[in-house]
């Protein structure tokens, strides 16, 4: 019987962690999936690590090396067009999927024809694999909750480690790679999962739904390099995704990111920059306090609160009050 799942890893310079991730894949309680690894022109020993791992731990896999480095979103779009299975499940090259990830997500999505995507909760770990406080606990756990949110034209936040229907995703455009400025930052790689889930949410009128299994099934690695995350870029992308959601629901053509960015007023940009400052300051505070740099950490905490107190409160509520 032909497998219904492609488990895909988009890899770029992942030699430090890829074998740990592959070991987690090899330990899955359900192994009936096609494993596809996409190498986005890595310049380190990532490919050699993959080949060495499977020489020592034999398993079917497909390794595709792209001719040009184009980023995460383009890699995922390649998988959507290259794969032939009904479902896709992406795992980041440095994450630790827990043993029952594939089994539980597949069982849930395949047992309800209304479901077009199913995600899970994720816990945080640091670059060395040590547990961190917090995690990603996003998404509606029931179809009714999803329908209500989709009807109100809300953005659909859910972690990218999710199983979804490939044909349905492509029917709404899949991962978007056109209409973005050339060069860095690669705006198409920011909130790419949010864009896809929100596009798919248009199909709520057909009874289709996106839900989350309220269980931690993957460990998400937070790197210290996150200190320099592009918060402004992510805020711009969220605004862009929201605008196109409203335009689609009105039957209007979508705007490219280039056109959207060009029409923002100076006042709107200043407001977004202030919000981004709050996000960056809180992120720095977390790492400073964790490293024992109390004065620097407290200073950034106050900067975050001053820039946007609502953002600070929301993040604390999300990462502490919603922890299981």
Cα 88 → chain centroid: 14
Res. 287 pLDDT band, cuts 50 70 90: confident
Enter the tokens of residue 159.
Answer: 């972690």
For residue 291, the surrounding DSSP H or E stretch is: none
Residue 304 has what pLDDT? 83
Selection from 251, 248, 143 nearest residue 204 by Cα: 143
Enter the tokens of residue 214.
Answer: 């309220």
Res. 290 pLDDT band, cuts 50 70 90: confident
Show the domains of the chain with their CATH numbers.
Answer: 5-234 (3.90.550.10), 235-321 (no CATH)
Question: For residue range 164-182, what is the model confidence (pLDDT) as tens digits?
Answer: 999 999 999 999 999 999 9
Q: Is 60 exceeded by the pLDDT of residue 323?
A: no
The residues with which 218 forms a beta bridge, in sequence order, are 97, 122
Question: For residue range 56-94, what is the model confidence (pLDDT) as tens digits?
Answer: 999 999 999 999 999 999 999 999 999 999 999 999 999
Residue 318 has what pLDDT? 61
Res. 324 pLDDT band, cuts 50 70 90: very low
């Amino acid at each position: 019987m032909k497998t219904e799942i492609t488990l895909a890893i988009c890899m770029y310079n992942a030699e430090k962690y890829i074998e740990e991730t592959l070991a987690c894949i090899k330990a899955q309680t359900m192994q009936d999936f096609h494993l596809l690894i996409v190498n986005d022109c890595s310049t380190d020993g990532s490919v050699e690590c993959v080949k060495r791992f499977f020489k020592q731990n034999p398993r079917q896999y497909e390794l595709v090396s792209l001719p040009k480095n184009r980023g995460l979103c383009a890699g995922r779009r390649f998988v959507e067009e290259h794969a032939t299975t009904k479902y896709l499940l992406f795992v980041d090259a440095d994450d630790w999927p827990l043993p029952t990830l594939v089994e539980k997500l597949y069982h849930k999505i395949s047992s309800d024809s209304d479901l077009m995507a199913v995600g899970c909760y994720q816990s945080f770990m640091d670059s060395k694999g040590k547990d961190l406080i917090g995690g990603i606990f996003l998404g509606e756990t029931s179809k009714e909750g999803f329908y209500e949110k989709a009807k109100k034209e809300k953005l659909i936040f859910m972690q990218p480690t999710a199983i979804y229907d490939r044909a349905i995703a492509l029917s709404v455009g899949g991962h978007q790679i056109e209409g973005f400025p050339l060069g860095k930052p690669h705006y198409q790689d920011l909130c790419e999962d949010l864009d896809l889930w929100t596009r798919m949410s248009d199909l709520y009128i057909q009874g289709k739904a996106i839900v989350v299994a309220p269980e931690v099934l993957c460990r998400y690695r937070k790197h210290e390099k996150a200190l320099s995350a592009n918060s402004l870029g992510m805020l711009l992308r969220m605004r862009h995704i929201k605008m196109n959601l409203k335009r689609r629901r009105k039957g209007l053509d979508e705007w490219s990111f280039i056109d959207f960015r060009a029409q923002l007023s100076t006042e709107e940009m200043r407001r977004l920059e202030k919000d981004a400052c709050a996000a960056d300051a809180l992120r720095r505070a977390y790492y400073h306090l964790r490293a024992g740099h109390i004065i620097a950490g407290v200073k950034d905490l106050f900067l975050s609160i001053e820039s946007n107190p609502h953002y600070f409160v929301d993040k604390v509520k999300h990462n502490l009050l919603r922890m299981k």
